[in-house]
Structure 1
Amino acid sequence: MIAKFFASGGALDKAIPGFQARQPQIDMAQAVADAIKADDQLVVEAGTGTGKTFAYLVPALVSGKKTIISTGSKNLQEQLFHRDLPLMTDALGFTGLVSLLKGRSNYLCLDRMSRQITESHGIHSDPKLLSQLVQVRTWSSSTKTGDLGECDAIAEDSPVIPMITSTNDNCIGRECPSYEECFVVKARRKAMESDVVVVNHHLFLADLAIKETGFGELIPEAEVFIFDEAHQMPDIASQYFGQSLSSRQIQELAKDVEIGYRTEAKDMRQLQKTADRLSQAAADMRIVLGEPGFRGNWREVITSPAIQREITRLTDALDLTHEVLKLALGRSQLLDTAFERATLLKERLKRVCDTSITGYSYWYECTPRHFSLHITPLSVAEKFHEQIEQQGGSWIFTSATLAVNDDFSHFSQRLGLTPKQQFSLESPFDYEQQALLCVPRFLPEPNSVGIADRLVDMLAPVIEANNGRCFFLCTSHQMVRDLAEGFRARLDLPVLVQGETTKQKLLAEYLERGNALLVATGAFWEGVDVRGQALSCVIIDKLPFTAPDDPLLKARIEDCRLRGGDPFSQVQIPDAVITLKQGVGRLIRDKKDKGVLVICDNRLVTRPYGAVFLRSLPPIPRTRDVAGVGQFLSSVNNAVAPADHEEQHSEA
């Protein structure tokens, strides 16, 4: 039945120029259709080029059941909604309603925007922010969705965004004067009426965990749940089944108290004082917590007298805010909501500081301006399984990286899944001809002193001979900095570095230059699609084991031990294998792509567990000779330049 849509002369063949069905794609589509029909769970690993998007969209659309599709990021969400779904709905003649739903922080809040514009005309106004606010207000009169991603006037990381969007904590709901025009309410109403709703994992899991008002009803109504880039689900689920408190939440509360004073309760000067004190207490705690970019063990640092002192100050500031807001109750909806938030944040602070409760990891994280305190359950398997049982319906999980050595238990057990079927699809790429894997000889030990200099000396000639066109993926920010410095001193080619601008701008500049080396970490290991010879060399500094002092990893190791398992083979190796597979996946994105993968870690060949990594990778020919890498790249570069790649839908 499902196969006919993919057959020669079928619906997809007629609608998509050059469409060619592949057996693995048909097998996946059939398995998805069976799971939907029987309300089963299904886990499918489908590598790049197997066509997994169409393989789950076709059976979902023809099933007639309400479907939620969740993706790993907002970028993928938009690609699915704006590119792949319209193509499929046209091909299949699907007439149902399709909608895109993001988290509330993506939508303009009309009430908060008008308050900010009033506030920014005061003595403290920043002309640049006021200019952006005016541009957003102009855009707001023409937008239908209120999705700030569509507003070209402001950058995605603009500091104005948190000021003009609402959070779960500060939304005043039906009491809001702009409730009927609210873009979040409109988006959610549309989602409630739709047959297919595209969300992302963060939104889906936030909803599952807290049943956010107005959206919690959406998910029980669905009968089919499909998760693309599903390998991210266990870690994201951990975040949402725990609790957290951040300086951003505290600062936003302080800001709203200040706005309430300036606009609606000008006779209550103590509101301004309490807002200043709250803001200062959060800033002082951030300074005491130390370096940015660091995840630490909260259970350990909370014993320090300096931290205890700041917790007391923060607690006192929240208590004072709570008491002052109690006096202002009934003065304005903004201040009434702020009172509820102060109550909630007081409770959260108390909870995250009670580290005696077992079964959780207690950790903190610092960015240059903010800190966040977290408690995360050691395992989410029971909670997630419980939710699946309550919701019913069919649950389908797919990604290019789910199996470790053809075994899916690492993924399935973390989410408490009991799938009827779990299998891998064979890739259509000819890795034997298209790629070469090199683990160079004479490598220094990972983490040894001066390793970045050695890698620069060894690999600069390869990068030079390839005229750039290379990603160097690192496992730490420090290695990114060290390698960037070394390569900039050594190469005449452009060296682009993650952190110096946004991910989107960096990628755009890489493609525009055509001869660059991009040195990056985390964000570039997955979700980046560079096809053709623009990227013909991917170098990885070492096997991507998570840092042993990472508090989340420590928690999972503790949980594994409590269950009588071996944490290294059951937690650390599988995690690193999945991450490595994601990094390797950047290289070959198309049937015509060719390139070299260099992994600078002897452990792949000297340690017994190296075999687990190698068996989990595609069947790429291997060498230990760096000179062989140069020869392979020369042969690729000397070949007749392939015709420019058109945007192909074979990926989908």
Structure 2
Amino acid sequence: MQLHETIQEVFGSAGALARQDGSFRPRAGQTQMAVAVAQTLEHGGALVVEAGTGVGKTFAYLVPALLSGERVLVSTATKALQDQIFARDLPILRKALGISLHAALLKGRSSYLCPYRLELAQADETLAQHPAQWRQLERVRQWAQATDSGDITDMPGYQERSPLLPLVTSTRENCLGSQCPQFSGCFVNKARRQALAADLVVINHHLFFADMQVRESGMAELLPTVRAVIVDEAHQFNETGVQFLGQQLGSQQLVDFARDLLKTGTRMARGMANWQVLAHDLDTATRQWRKLAEAVPPGARLNWQGQAPERLDASRWQTALQELQAPLLAVEQALRTVQSGEPELQRMLERCLGLHQRLVLFMQPPVAGMVRWLEAGLQIKVLESPLDIAEAMQPHWGPRLPTEQAALSDHHEQALSPEPERAWIFTSATLGADASLRLFTQACGLEQAQVLQVASPFDYAQQAALYIPPHLPKPADPGHTEALARFSQQAIARLGGRTLVLTTTLKALRQMAQSLRTALAHRDDITILVQGEGSKQQLMERFRQGSSMGDAGCVLVASASFWEGFDAPGDALQLVVIDKLPFPPPHDPLMQARSRRIEAQGGQAFQELFVPEAAVALKQGAGRLIRRETDRGILVIGDTRLLHMSYGRRLLASLPPMRRLASEAQFQQALEQLNRPPAG
């Protein structure tokens, strides 16, 4: 029996999944996707699947992967999804399928405790002067003696933004590799060995591209060479790749290097150079460089096509870069005189050379075909990247990687004997706005891939309604956010919370949050949560708790990452409010460069880029509302352009097929129905 035939049995009403879980019900879309994945694993090639919410795409690709007999790499967008697949989904499926396949979880270096850096931190006298950090360090030390994986997120009391984490974890820049004194106990090395021996490895997109860079540089690869790769949450794949295929230099990198230089030089080569002066000069030059952009609003991205980023003085900018070069050259000279035979000093020299190389790159005009910009914040960062990953990745979508083809060509002809073609599967709930999913496939160089769209099994016409308030001011009107807040607070009051408000800007987020808190201050039974007042995971858990905390429900006002990955099924969430159509920022350097390319080819950037991007983001936001077959809710979009502009019909068509509410009266009636128990 062929794999795709076995898959149909597994997902059938009497199959392995149904026998394992009495609540399992066959879903035509899930089976359709699983069969397509199985056929791709059997025959090779590239498959792109857009699977609507509720399809069950994770099982639809994991079951064929587990039964294929292939070594499989699964790449996800986030560490949280990695953990979910490895710790929850795989154990369930292994038990249901009756297999003992060996799986491994692999994250980047910064996710693992570094025993050597922990040792250095414990010996750091300056750290002992800070009691709170010293107590945290002691807790890390105790946990280090008991942990098997070294995964820092498993540590009790783990805090993602703890200033202690960089002191007890390593990065690509400061890792000593096989020359580390603690290499035998290295958790990263242990995780990689497990990955090399595993049948299925779960990684994330950042690690995927980091491994590709290492492999192409001629160094030993981080991940096992596999014939089958599955990319989940693929809508983030291109943007992640763009980061890795370019170059970047940030003030934080330079400040960290100056700090490490002082510590390492003083500890290992005291008296052989004036490390304090060298570190001070580099730190001072870095701070002067950063000051040039101190008037730029945090989060802004400045286009850089000439000698300097827009809005910055070109002469002062170039002078600041030259003044950065001098201390780097002085550090390089000092390290060359002392680094012989000392791995840590050798690594410091390599870091210095890498920083200098990137600085020289940014002192030159931008490379043709690349886009360059500055990102502002507490620190600044300059970046240069390709517009997308298509050109770099197209060779990889073939039967073998270029490096493998070169190696095989050194052998006899029979070494090139027929082998199953490499299989690539890409999937997400939101990949495009048309039947060809062109927004995704073109950016990734996958125009020749097989494309499959699987609709959600949810009955949106019964479960959800869409309302676009026609009386709201235009989105560009200064009074728009306040008017939407007034409209929303009435609905929130009737529902007793149970609302997610998604904004397109942080300014609107702050204004909406303040307005709702003021208007609903008298309601003790409603809790207003705001992005930034806790981690995403903490806010999501608090929102889900709802009435269990003594509240009728919560309201969460959020932006950015909350448009996706926020999951609150059931009665905890019954109203989603989106303030405006999520068009990409028109002044974003990458979007500007992509627009210029489209128009140079005779296309229309707004129709071919901005509208599809908005459609994908809108689908992601709307997808927060209905997460289960029993969920009910209303989606409110406070943007009348959907009703009056020519592109409004395209954007509405991209949404799930919810029933449309045509009037305020119908909206109020729908709210009232949500307050009643569901029929049956």
Using the size of structure 1 for normalisation, the TM-score is 0.94
1:198 maps to what in 2?
202
Work out the CA distance in 2 between the residues paired with 1:210 and 1:303: 37
Name the structure 2 match of 1:297. Answer: 303
Q: For residues 356 and 123 of structure 1, what CA distance do their matches in structure 2 show?
A: 42
Look up the match of 1:648.
none
Distance 1:627 1:181 in 2: 67
In the TM superposition, 1:140-151 aligns within 5 A as: 140-151=144-155
Report the Cα distance in structure 2 between the residues aligned to 1:542 and 1:205, rounded to whole angstroms.
Answer: 33
Task: Summarize the Cα distance change of 1:76–1:419 in structure 2 as closer, same or farther, 3 Å threshold.
Answer: farther
Aligned twin of 1:169 = 173
Contact conserved, 1:460 with 1:487, CA < 8 A, in 2? yes
Moved more, 44-53 or 531-540: 44-53
Query: Is the CA contact (8 Å cut-off) linking 1:40 and 1:419 kept in structure 2?
Result: no
Summarize deviations over 1:347-377 as a string: whole Å, max 9, x none. Answer: 0111133234211110121233x22211011
Q: CA deviation at 1:622?
A: 1.1
In 2, are the aligned partners of 1:473 and 1:541 still within 8 Å (CA)? yes
Counterpart Cα distance in 2 of 1:134 and 1:447? 53
Match for 2:276: what amino acid? Q
The answer as to whether partners of 2:545 and 2:572 remain within 8 angstroms in 1 is no
Structure-2 separation of matches of 1:386 and 1:425: 28
1:496 matched to 2:529? yes
Check if 1:454 corresponds to 2:483.
yes
Counterpart in 2 of 1:444?
473
Q: 1:330 aligns with which of 340, 344, 352?
A: 340
CA distance in 2, matches of 1:418, 1:576: 21
2:132 and 2:579 map into 1 onto residues whose CA distance is: 41
Mapping for residues 151-190 of structure 1, pairs under 5 Å: 151-190=155-194
- Rate the CA distance shift 1:282–1:505 in 2: closer, same or farther, 3 A: farther
SS in 2 for 1:518: strand
The CA deviation string for residues 450-492 of structure 1, in whole angstroms up to 9 with x for no partner, is: 2221112222111111111111101111111111111111113
Which residue identity does 1:315 align to in structure 2? Q
Are residues 411 and 453 of structure 1, via their aligned partners in 2, closer, same or farther at CA, if it must alter by over 3 Å?
Answer: same
**What does residue 569 of structure 2 align with?**
531
Q: Match of 1:261?
A: 265
2:30 aligned with 1:25, yes or no? yes
**Counterpart amino acid of 2:531?**
Q
Show the counterpart of 2:353.
343
The residue number in structure 2 matching 1:510 is 543
User: After alignment, is 25-34 or 387-396 more displaced?
Assistant: 387-396
Inter-CA distance 124–363: structure 2 relative to 1 (3 Å threshold): farther
Q: Which residue of 2 aligns with 1:650?
A: none
Correspondence for 1:482 among 508, 511, 515: 511
Deviations 1:507-544 (A, max 9, x none): 22323344221111011000111000100000001010
Quick check: 1:355 aligned with 2:393? no
| 2:121–2:127 Cα contact (<8 Å) kept | no
* 8 Å CA contact 2:569, 2:626 repeated in 1: yes
Which one-letter code corresponds to 1:122 in the other structure?
Answer: T
Contact residue 471 and residue 518 of structure 1 kept, 8 A = yes
Aligned length, in residue pairs: 640
> 1:251/1:202 Cα in 2 relative to 1: closer, same or farther (>3 Å)?
same
The one-character-per-residue Cα deviations of 1:22-67 (angstroms, maximum 9, x if unpaired) are: 1111111111111111111111111111111111111111110010
Q: Which residue of 2 aligns with 1:319?
A: 329
> What is the distance in 1 between the residues matched to 2:555 and 2:31?
38
Which segment drifts farther, 277-286 or 600-609?
Answer: 277-286
Q: Does 1:634 align with 2:672?
A: yes
Worse overlay, 274-283 or 584-593: 274-283
Secondary structure of the equivalent of 2:123?
Answer: helix
Cα distance, 1:307 vs. partner?
A: 2.5
| Aligned residues of 1:207 and 1:215 also touching (Cα < 8 A) | no
With over 3 angstroms needed to count, the CA separation of the structure-2 counterparts of 1:196 and 1:441, relative to structure 1, is: same
Of 230, 239, 242, the residue aligned with 1:235 is 239
Select which of 449, 462, 468 maps to 1:433: 462
Equivalent pair of 1:361/1:555 in contact (CA under 8 Å): yes
The answer to whether 1:575 aligns with 2:579 is no
1:37 and 2:42 are equivalent in the alignment = yes
Aligned partner of 1:546 in structure 2 is 584
Q: Distance in 2 between matches of 1:128 and 1:64?
A: 51
Given that 2:239 and 2:388 are in contact with CA atoms closer than 8 Å, whether structure 1 keeps it comes out as no
Distance verdict in 2 for CA 1:627–1:263, change over 3 Å: farther
Q: CA RMSD in A?
A: 2.0
Measured against aligned partners, the alpha-carbon deviations of 1:249-278 in whole angstroms (never above 9, x if no partner) come to 212211221211332223246112211222
Partner of 2:550: none
For residue 127 of structure 1, report the CA deviation from its aligned partner: 2.1
Choose 438-447 or 492-501, whichever is displaced more. Answer: 492-501
Q: In the alignment, which residue of structure 2 is the partner of 1:95?
A: 100
Displacement of 1:500 in angstroms is 2.4
Pick the aligned partner of 1:385 from 387, 394, 401.
Answer: 394
Render the CA deviation track for 1:536-558: whole Å, top value 9, x for unaligned: 00000101001111111112112
1:620 aligns with 2:658: yes
Instruction: Supply the AA of the counterpart residue of 1:296.
Output: L
3-state secondary structure, aligned to 1:499 = coil
2:407 is matched with none
Q: Is the CA contact (8 Å cut-off) linking 1:352 and 1:362 kept in structure 2?
A: no
1:71–1:228 CA contact under 8 A, matched in 2 = yes
What is the letter of the counterpart of residue 40 of structure 1?
A: G
CA contact (8 A) 1:379 1:559 kept: no
Residue identity in the other structure for 1:399: S
- The question of whether the paired residues in 2 share the 8 Å contact of 1:72 and 1:200 is answered with yes
Which shifted more, 615-624 or 284-293?
A: 284-293
Structure 1 Cα separation of the partners of residues 116 and 595 of structure 2: 46
Give the drift of 1:628: 2.5
* Matched residue, 1:403: 432
CA contact (8 A) 1:465 1:630 kept: no
**Which amino acid in 1 is paired with 2:393?**
F
1:84 equivalent to 2:122? Answer no
Tell me by how many angstroms 1:444 deviates.
Answer: 1.1
C-alpha separation in 1, matches of 2:37 and 2:598: 32
| AA matched with 1:526 | E
- The one-letter code matched in structure 2 to 1:474 is T
AA of the residue aligned to 2:200 = V
Give the CA deviation at 1:306: 3.3
Alpha-carbon offset, residue 641 of structure 1: 9.8
Asked if 2 retains the 8 angstrom alpha-carbon contact of 1:293 and 1:365, the reply is yes
Percent of residue pairs bearing the same amino acid type: 39
For 1:130, the equivalent position in structure 2 comes to 134
For the Cα contact (< 8 Å) 2:30–2:57, is it kept in 1? yes
Superposed displacement of residue 17, structure 1: 2.8
Give the whole-Å Cα distance in 1 for the aligned partners of 2:435 and 2:493.
37
* Residue of structure 1 equivalent to 2:413: none
Larger mean CA deviation between 301-310 and 283-292 belongs to: 301-310
For 1:28, give the aligned amino acid.
M
Moved more, 517-526 or 327-336: 327-336
Contact 1:264 1:331 in 2 (8 A): no
Structure 1: distance between partners of 2:339 and 2:224? 36
Asked if residue 60 in structure 1 is aligned to residue 65 in structure 2, the reply is: yes
**Residue 220 of structure 1, CA deviation:** 6.3
Q: What is the distance in 1 between the residues matched to 2:51 and 2:395?
A: 27
Moved more, 29-38 or 243-252: 243-252
Does residue 371 of structure 2 align to residue 373 of structure 1? no
Distance 1:297 1:216, change over 3 A: farther
Letter in 1 for 2:246: G
Q: Tell me what 2:56 maps to.
A: 51
Cα distance, 1:92 vs structure 2: 1.3
Does the 8 Å contact 2:43/2:423 carry over to 1? yes
**SS of equivalent residue, structure 1 residue 549:** coil
Provide structure 2 residue ranges, at least 5 long, that are not aligned to the other structure.
402-420, 548-552
CA distances 1:564-594 after superposition (whole Å, capped 9, x unpaired): 3211111111111111100000000000000
1:113 corresponding residue in structure 2 = 118
Question: Which stretch shifts more, 285-294 or 174-183?
Answer: 285-294
Query: Aligned pair 1:417/2:446, yes or no?
Result: yes
Give, in whole Å, the separation in 1 of the partners of 2:49 and 2:16.
24
Question: Which residue pairs with 2:635 in the alignment?
Answer: 597
